């Protein structure tokens, strides 16, 4: 089983919050469902969804990922 690493989270718990995680070479984003009507130019397959997270969480996750990649 791949290690699940929380790169950034709006909460100190592991549920019910915006967060960005890393599992192997996959980035996992948990957030509120995006509204497709808000982004009419973005085509999303029926089996996929848009998720939204705050810019602060996204940037914190990017910094954490850069640090992890620099350590490998």
Tell me the per-residue pLDDT of 7-53, one tens digit each, with 9 for 90 and over: 998 886 666 688 999 998 899 998 888 776 677 788 888 898 888 88
d(CA 39, CA 70): 35
62 phi and psi angles, rounded to 5 deg: -65, -40
Count the neighbouring beta carbons within 10 Å of the beta carbon of residue 19. Answer: 21
Query: Can you tell me whether residue 69 is helix, strand or coil?
Result: helix
Q: Please report the pLDDT score of residue 43 as a whole number.
A: 84
Six-digit token string for 51:
């998720």
* Sequence-distant (≥ 6) Cβ neighbours of residue 10 within 8 angstroms: 17, 18, 19, 54, 57
């Amino acid at each position: 089983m791949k290690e699940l690493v929380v790169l950034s989270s709006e909460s100190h718990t592991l549920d019910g919050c915006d967060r960005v995680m890393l599992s192997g070479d996959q980035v996992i984003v948990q957030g509120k469902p995006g509204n497709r009507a808000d982004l009419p130019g973005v085509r999303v397959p029926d089996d996929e969804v848009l998720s939204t997270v705050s810019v602060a969480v996204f940037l914190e996750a990017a910094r954490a990922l850069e640090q992890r990649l620099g350590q490998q």
